[in-house]
Amino acid sequence: MTVEIMSAATLSIRWTDCDRIQSVPVVLAGQNSFISIGVGPRERHCPSCDSIVYSRRHKLCGVCGHVLPEGCLFTATEAENVEILLRTERQRHRAWLKKTTAM
């Protein structure tokens, strides 16, 4: 007596339309998250190695280690807004942890 435990399905995808579509930024609840913290989205590149600068909070390039120009970093206002956002999110996370561990 044979019992079939698992079965397989064949996946067939046509990539003709997907290749032409460029990626679209994800915006949750109709809001742009950059606007809420006073930061505009813009891709910046390191002038030394031309790699993308993923963090505007650090003064050094994450790839080559060279000092980034001021244009690649947050302004004082943007940096303050990001710090406030991070502090708020940490507090919310701690409150959530206390709430879940108290149950």
Question: What confidence tens digit (pLDDT) does each residue in 34-52 have?
Answer: 555 555 566 788 989 988 8
Record the pTM: 0.48
What are the pLDDT digits (tens) for 7-17? 777 777 676 65
- Which of these, 31, 72, 32, 33, lies nearest to 51 by C-alpha position? 72
pLDDT tens profile 78-93: 889 989 999 999 999 9
60 touches 70 (CB < 8 A): no
> Which of residues 62 and 7 earns the better pLDDT score?
62
Average pLDDT, the chain: 78
